[in-house]
Amino acid sequence: MAKRRGVWTELQRERARKQRLAQQAYRASVQAAKKAEREREQAQRAAARRAAQNERERKRLYIEDRKAEAADQAADLRERIEELDSVLTAGVRRRPDASFTSLKRTHQPAPFDSGGFDRPIPPPQWIPPQPPGVIGGLLGGRARYEREEAAARQTYERQRAQHAAAEADRLRRLEERRRAYDQRVATESEAVRRHNAEIDEFERDFRAGDSDAVARFFTLILDSSPYPEGFPHRTRAIYRPEPRELVVEYELPPQSVIPAERDYKYVQSRDEIDKLARPVKEIKDRYARLIAQIALRTLHEVFAGDPAKIVKVASFNGHVSTTDPATGQPVRPCLISVSAEKDLFSAFRLADVEPVACLKKLNALVSQHPYDLEPVRPVVDFEALLSQYKFVEGMDAVAGLDARRDLLEMTPTEFEHLVRQLFEAMGMKSWATQASKDDGVDAVAVNEDPVFGGLCVIQAKRYRSAVGVEPVRALAGVMEDKHATKGIMVTTSWVTKDGHAFAARHGRIQIMECEEIKYLCKEHLDLDVLISLPKPPPKRR
């Protein structure tokens, strides 16, 4: 089981990495082409202004340039809206690229590099001295010739010996390189063989309906699906063999993915480009339609990517991580929940449906006001299934080029800097820290807000298990010692009920646990981080 989990994790990270690279390369190429075209047009307009004969002509060309700039911004806006409007149709047109065959590797060893040792060293050539003529031989040239010949012969024999030694060394080195190459090829071939054998085992488990294997495979399917920029693209999946149901919990994009601007217009009298606001009702309607498209697309990708017809029913719960405007606290309401049987769903022509109406046809539970974060109760309670079935958590496919940073793998110093950056981004100033005996940091910061500001003591616990009540009590003691107005307990894990109760009684202690830390890092630092706890934190209501 551990081996299979390791294989799946490696496959998931490599596939997600390749997809992010491909998506970013494509987007970069498109943006570069657009930028080059705009720069060319701007250069042409600038050249025309310089060539203009009078001020009136130059002013006219300048106005045209500014209008063109506003038109370019409006074109980008329309392209973004079209991309969001076509989320469902883009998913329907695309065939799932994750399959067991595609997960396998082929061994194509690099050509053998001889390092030049495959070329023989040219042997020395015997070049005898020029013999004397008849007269030279009579005048003592014969004896001199014999001496020169003997010396030349001696030099030649020495060169032959050196050549033989060099050739032997060349052949030895060539053989060493050949043995090293053969060993490397054999090692690579064995690694590929083992990998493919594990994929075969993965496929056998999948076709046998193993809940863990099925959930992992469909997480690969969903993680490999490209979405527009700005989508979290995080999934969790559970497979229930008896009803043959796959339950997917999906992280929906925030409302901010819908552009607040409707158009751009150049105002000549002020020489400014104005943003024309999109009506609030249109933003809400577009967001409702977008998350409906995501739900239908996910169901389609599950059924279309099922090579063994394992899944008979697919259930989708769409959550969004955001902030409750009434309390300012992070919330994660469920906005859409739907279950669909494959036979019924396969009859739909998704390229032609109206997404919101299609969900109604499926008797989906849809928030009446998703933009206002009005939640619904999921058709299938994902959290309740965790105690019965294994779940698979997907990766973020559009995070940075490398995988999400695991906060539990940071050093204490690195974690201290992250906490400092986070609270500075939230408005804290005058940061000062001191070494802590536990695996975290103690910090003192100042909120310079004239009304609600003051000294704040921050204690960070980079823990894998629960934080008990004692550290919370210790934080209260530090607050009293430093006359602090507020105390914040930051932990990568969670605080026990006793710790929460103490903080509530104290009144000036705030607790930030793992899920909130991940949300704040995303919200204020634009960092999509991971906290690989050995078990999920307890769910509190």
Cβ atoms of 375 and 334 within 8 Å: the answer is yes
Write down the pTM of the prediction: 0.59
Place of tokens 């009005």: 374
Within 305-354, where are the H helices?
A: 342-345
Query: In the numeric block, which tokens belong to residue 24?
Result: 């970013």
| Residues in a beta bridge with 392 | 237
Amino acid at 534: P
Please give the sequence-ordered ranges of beta strands (E in DSSP) within 403-453, or none if there are none. Answer: 428-434, 440-447
Q: Which of helix, strand or coil describes residue 52?
A: coil
pLDDT of res. 441: 40
Q: What gap in Å lies between CA 446 and CA 429, rounded to an integer? A: 5
Q: How far is CA 188 from CA 9, 49, 194, in A?
A: 20, 63, 10
Q: Which of helix, strand or coil describes residue 136?
A: helix
Query: In the numeric block, which tokens belong to residue 320?
Result: 């969004």
pLDDT of res. 8: 57
Which residues fall within 8 angstroms of residue 107, CB to CB, at 6 or more apart?
188, 189, 192
pLDDT of res. 478: 85
Cα-Cα end-to-end distance for the chain: 33
Burial degree of 69 (CB within 10 A; 0-12, 13-18, 19+): middle
Q: Give the pLDDT confidence of 243-277 residue by residue, as tens digits.
A: 899 999 999 999 899 999 999 999 999 999 999 99
Q: How far is CA 299 from CA 113, 232, 323, 334, 340, in A?
A: 50, 18, 28, 17, 8
pLDDT of res. 400: 35
Strands 261-267 and 245-251, by their bridges, are unpaired
Q: Which helix (H) or strand (E) holds 129?
A: none
Interior/surface letters 372-391, b for 16+ CB within 10 angstroms, e for the rest: ebebbebbbebeebeeebbb
Query: In the numeric block, which tokens belong to residue 539?
Result: 């769910």
Q: What gap in Å lies between CA 257 and CA 252, rounded to an integer? A: 10
DSSP class of residue 371? G
Mean pLDDT (10-residue bins), the chain, 541 residues = 53 61 68 79 74 73 87 91 93 79 88 90 87 69 79 88 92 93 93 90 91 89 84 86 90 92 92 92 94 95 90 93 84 90 92 92 87 81 66 45 66 69 74 48 61 75 88 88 86 91 91 88 82 78 48
How many angstroms from the chain centroid is the CA of residue 35? 25
Q: How far is CA 286 from CA 74, 278, 279, 282, in A?
A: 18, 11, 11, 6
Count of CB atoms situated within 10 Å of the CB of 352: 9
Which residues fall within 8 angstroms of residue 31, CB to CB, at 6 or more apart?
none
Which residues of the chain does CATH 3.40.1350.10 include?
407-525
What fold characterizes domain 407-525?
Trna Endonuclease; Chain: A, domain 1 (3.40.1350)
Q: How far is CA 121 from CA 153, 156, 162, 176, 420, in A?
A: 20, 16, 11, 18, 65
Give the orientation angle of helix 497-506 with respect to helix 469-482, to 10 degrees. Answer: 20
Whether the CA torsion 13, 250, 302, 239 is positive or negative: it is positive
pLDDT of res. 413: 57
pLDDT of res. 465: 87
Q: What gap in Å lies between CA 74 and CA 81, rounded to an integer? A: 11
Whether the CA torsion 240, 246, 247, 251 is positive or negative: it is positive
Amino acid at 272: E
Q: Give long-range contacts, CB 8 A cutoff, 24+ apart: 64-68.
A: 66/266, 66/268, 66/271, 66/273, 67/266, 68/41, 68/42
Query: In the numeric block, which tokens belong to residue 29?
Result: 């190429």
Q: Give the pLDDT confidence of 375-433 residue by residue, as tens digits.
A: 888 877 777 676 656 555 554 433 333 346 788 887 665 676 678 778 877 877 655 55
pLDDT of res. 204: 92
